[in-house]
Structure 1
């Protein structure tokens, strides 16, 4: 599993112009099960994505599809995360 920290590197006006296309990218990968959740950071400097999988290279390839990446509007930090304890209602999601 990965925690993906998205950091905006362009003005919010440019981010907003790409936002709906970015959300479609997120929805597609949420539906496939690759992403478990996504949301913006506060203050609004980027976002966070929870992603399944163990292959960092494969995840980086997926992130290249993000319009934020395509337009050079964001940078990504990937943090490998191995959950050892979870709330019972989340256990199946973290396998």
Structure 2
């Protein structure tokens, strides 16, 4: 599993100016790039995306995020080898 953590480096007002394009990118991520779950950090300092797929492909897709293109957020990508999960989330393993 891949964890993509976004941390805003510009104001939330600036993030909001690019939110519609970012959310279209997220929607494509679910349809085409193995996104499993996503949401805002609390407090609102960025967001987190959980995905499956080849790390290289996800890293390449992240480069097209409008938040990356416009310098709104820094991104950290972490790969996790999930070995244990609650019932119903077994698909995250391996």
Using the size of structure 1 for normalisation, the TM-score is 0.89
- Report the alpha carbon displacement of residue 54 of structure 1 after superposing the two structures with TM: 3.8
After the TM superposition, which parts of structure 1 deviate over 2 Å for at least 4 consecutive aligned residues?
A: 92-95
Match in the other structure for 1:72: 71
Determine which structure has the larger helix proportion and give its number.
1
Structure 1 spans left out of the alignment, 5+ residues: none
Where in structure 2 are the equivalents of 1:42-81 lying within 5 Å?
Answer: 42-55=42-55, 57-81=56-80
**Number of matched pairs:** 94
Looking at structure 2, the residues matched to 31 and 42 of structure 1 have their Cα atoms a distance apart, in angstroms, of: 26
CA RMSD across the alignment: 1.5
Looking at structure 2, the residues matched to 41 and 48 of structure 1 have their Cα atoms a distance apart, in angstroms, of: 7
Q: The residue matched to 2:20 in structure 1 has which SS?
A: helix
The question of whether the paired residues in 2 share the 8 Å contact of 1:2 and 1:78 is answered with yes
The question of whether the paired residues in 2 share the 8 Å contact of 1:36 and 1:93 is answered with no
Q: Which string of whole-angstrom CA distances, capped at 9 and with x for unpartnered residues, describes residues 19-50 of structure 1?
A: 11111111111122511111000110000000
Structure 2 spans left out of the alignment, 5+ residues: none
Looking at structure 1, the residues matched to 76 and 33 of structure 2 have their Cα atoms a distance apart, in angstroms, of: 20
